[in-house]
Chain A
Amino acid sequence: MSGLGVWNYVIIIFLMMIGLYMVMSCSSLVKKLIGLNVFQTSVFFLYISFGYVDGGAGPLLIEGVTLYSNPLPHVLILTAIVVGVATTAVGLALSIRIKESFGTIEEDDLHKMDSSI
């Protein structure tokens, strides 16, 4: 852990807050999705940092290497990335449909048209 220290965690928290702030404050639905992606990516970084072992090699059987990084969090994050891509795809598809039927993707305007959000 000393190779990276706590700095990567500081950056992760920073990214997490940027993402959440974007989701809450941006009016455009696409920008909300971008914020959601930043938020999710920060969690991916969190898991990858968990698995990192200082000086550890990749988890391959190579002669002379005894210290390995933990591959499990990395594998978990591969799954989570796939889930994130699927969520983004559904979100963007919804934005297109909203644009088609409302003519706008600005949340404020949608709010005025139908008090439903």
Chain B
Amino acid sequence: MLMHLPVLIILAPLLGAPLAALMRGSNWPWLLATLICWFSLLCSILLLMQVNSQGEVIYIMGGWEAPWGIEYRLDFANALLLVLITGLASVVLPYARLSVEQEVGEERSPLFYAALLLLILGLCGITATGDAFNVFVFLEVSSLATYTLIAMGRDRRALTASFTYLIMGTIGATFYLIGVGFLYVMTGTLNMADLAERLPAISDSSTVRTAFAFIVTGICLKLALFPLHLWLPNAYTYSPSAVTAFLAATATKVAVYVLIRFVFTIFGVDFSFGMEPLAEVLIPLSVIGILSASTVSVTQPNIKRMLAYSSVAQIGYIVLGLAMGTAMGLTAALLHMFNHGLMKGALFMVMGAVAYRMGGTEIYDMKGLAKTMPLTFWAFVLGGLSLIGVPLTVGFVSKWHLILAALELGWWPIVIVILAGSMLAVLYIGRVIEAGFFGQPADTTRREAPMGMLVPLWILVIANIWFGIDTRLTVDIAVAAAAQLMAGGVAL
């Protein structure tokens, strides 16, 4: 059983999805999906412990040895991400029941949960696999599920948002496919560890350089790096609340992980930063992304859209960290990947609760929230403080490490950009808190969100504080993961 953990994480949602689709009503598929997510979370925590004791876990799929068959290879970086994905799924699903009943309807609920399970399956697959083509297949599994889930939003604009994402996502995935094809032609292998071994000898060829360009561009489309983020704001704004909370917390992070895997493990630091101008391209883009997306958030009347633009800015921080090409920068990127999942998950879940009670997520729906929905409002305040990066929250931990990484390189302007981004976050979070405190609600009766939504929401908020105070677990794992990745990743 313990030997088969990597494949169990994939198999459980894969078998659960068709079962959920066959069920009727909304409670049974919900229960099934929730149990499967809890099971996956258990598996991924056990896996992380295994990685901690062995350094690396390798699973050979179907008994076919690695260069011919597909292997799953887990180290600190992807084991940590698996815990984030399954953990958030385990929190979002209990929360989803009421919200989905209202927003999607009982009739379509079984299909909704089936698609959500497929999305979780795809994300876990991308993270666990050690095969470059397998990444493409899981990428498309998760993307197709995402398009369906976004289109289930109440607003008709969810359909056009989903269509735009379908076009851009497919182009991104196809770019990735072209890049992988070039690598296969040059090396004759699709296994990531094998690729990493064979590439340095031929890294000076233009085919490998072209492959690198195609793969990085394709993945940047999926992770919504400025200026390839145009699909993201609409997709996050109009999809059902539970979907937004889960997508914002995990989907872009998985794409960041693929980028990290390719840049650091497969191509190697020497190639990515020495021979290719990766830092020169990614750093300006992420800086512009942080500043412009944060500025745009300040003026958004719809809070879900405001948080979506803020997500683009936060992706900028993560890419900035990894584009530094140092162990410190990579540590900061991995930390922010995990921490941003926690805070954005919590904030979008607050918006789901507001939408459930107030029927909308515009700023005037938030007016006087401190009186009408105090517990939900305080969850927003704490999540917002975490997003700004106030000490004792997770946001502070990762921004602190990012600033340390920039100082190590002596990049003062970057430090100023990070601080400016935080100031803009104070502005856009501040105006919502102001509306919540001082705004006059049209109807002053107290109507707190139901317990089924509040409990998962507060679990996530407490995680924001917990990992902000007790940083041992996350920082230690991020440091170990960064060391493994910088060493070329193939820790044999």
Contact = CB atoms under 8 A, between A and B. Distances in A.
B164 interface: yes
A101 B156 contact: yes
Interface in A25-58: 29, 32, 36, 39-40, 43, 46-47, 50
Contact of B184 (A50, A94, A110, A114): A50
B403 to A, nearest CB: 37
A97 B166 CA distance: 14
Contact of A94 (B157, B166, B174, B234): B166
B166 A91 contact: yes
A116 B160 contact: yes
Contacts of A23: 167, 171
Interface in B151-182: 151, 156-157, 159-164, 166-167, 170-171, 174, 177-178, 181
B147 A83 contact: no
Interface in A92-117: 94-95, 97-98, 101-102, 110, 114, 116-117
A43 B178 contact: yes
A76 B178 CA distance: 12
A117 B184 CA distance: 36
Interface string B129-169: 00001001100100010011001000011011111101100
Interface in A65-94: 72-73, 76, 79-80, 83, 86-87, 90-91, 94
B469 interface: no
A83 B157 contact: no
B181 A116 contact: no
A86 to B, nearest CB: 6
Contacts of B275: none
Given A87-B140, A94-B151, A47 B159 contact: no
Contacts, number: 75
Contacts of A117: 160, 164, 234
A46 B166 contact: no
Contact of A36 (B136, B157, B171): B171
B156 A47 contact: no
B178 A87 contact: no
Given A79-B137, A83-B140, A101-B156, A40 B170 contact: yes
Given A76-B133, A80-B177, A116-B161, A32 B167 contact: yes
Given A23-B167, A40-B170, A97 B178 contact: no
Contacts of A46: 178, 181
B423 interface: no
A59 to B, nearest CB: 14
A116 B308 CA distance: 14
Contact of B174 (A29, A43, A102, A116): A43
Interface of A: 20, 23, 29, 32, 36, 39-40, 43, 46-47, 50, 72-73, 76, 79-80, 83, 86-87, 90-91, 94-95, 97-98, 101-102, 110, 114, 116-117
9 contacts: A36-B170, A43-B181, A46-B181, A72-B184, A79-B133, A79-B137, A86-B144, A87-B170, A98-B159
Given A36-B171, A90-B144, 11 more contacts: A29-B163, A46-B181, A47-B181, A83-B140, A86-B140, A90-B147, A90-B148, A94-B151, A102-B160, A114-B160, A117-B160
